[in-house]
Amino acid sequence: MYQGTKILTTTLTPWPKRNPSFKFIVALFLRFISIFVIRPSLVMTRIIIACFSVLLLASCKKEVSELPSATQTGANTFGAKVNGQLWAPQGFGPFPADNLLDATFNSATGILLINARNFSSSPNETSFEILLANVTGPGTYQLNTTTSRAGSKSYALYFKNRLNPVEEWMTTADYTGSVTITKLDVVNLIVSGTFQFEAVSSNTPPTIKSITEGRFDIKIK
């Protein structure tokens, strides 16, 4: 006798209900896959742009707001006004520089050499170089005794570099100045003082730099 075909039936179990947080996690996971797996190059591009923007903002030139106090403690400070504009040693953006300011003194020859540099507008650089001859202690030393950097006569120099020297201004017999040393401590290696001078460029026609309200307080190397 024909008994027919037995039909099998399956009862489907309903998908359990999910709370809203589950949907959020799934959406977040899909977003993660989309960003970090499917489009890695786009993510890297965004990261590079963000890093570059941070460096660009950090490297913007910071204006000098005030001159340092005229101290005598070896605070490693230097500042002046150049044609009325505040000037002080500065590095470039977030990158520190270890050679912004230094002073050397040879007690045997009496030569005091001070160098101060500003890299804040790199690759442009502005610098001071002051050399005093026959230094014996505190006192006022004239800067009008030479027009060369021979190393045996006193002079002051302000110059601009752009990888190589661009222009320099130097004291002469006609454009003079002075440095007053208020402290010279060869035991604790401190030299402090003030300065002012006018300097002329070697360009044609020449230009003048007026340096006023200069002060320094440096640890001697």
Q: What is the pLDDT of residues 142-156, one digit of tens each?
A: 997 666 666 678 999
**Quick one: 209 and 159 in the same domain?**
yes
Beta bridge partners of 186: none
Q: For position 53, what pLDDT does the model report?
A: 43
**Quick one: 118 and 149 in the same domain?**
yes
Is 57 buried (19+), middle (13-18) or exposed (0-12) by CB count in 10 A? exposed
Q: Does a structural domain hold residue 215? A: yes
**Quick one: 96 and 199 in the same domain?**
yes
Which domain does 30 fall in, by range? 21-58
Q: For position 207, what pLDDT does the model report?
A: 96
**Quick one: 81 and 154 in the same domain?**
yes
Q: Does a structural domain hold residue 84? A: yes
The count of structural domains within the chain is 2
pLDDT (mean) for 200-219: 95
**Quick one: 143 and 198 in the same domain?**
yes
Q: Does a structural domain hold residue 202? A: yes
**Quick one: 194 and 93 in the same domain?**
yes
Give the pLDDT band (50/70/90) at residue 15.
Answer: very low
CA 21 – CA 24 distance, rounded (Å): 5
Q: For position 48, what pLDDT does the model report?
A: 44
Give the pLDDT band (50/70/90) at residue 99.
Answer: confident
- Angle (CA) 144 68 185, round 5°: 65
**Quick one: 150 and 102 in the same domain?**
yes
Cβ 113 vs Cβ 131: under 8 Å: yes
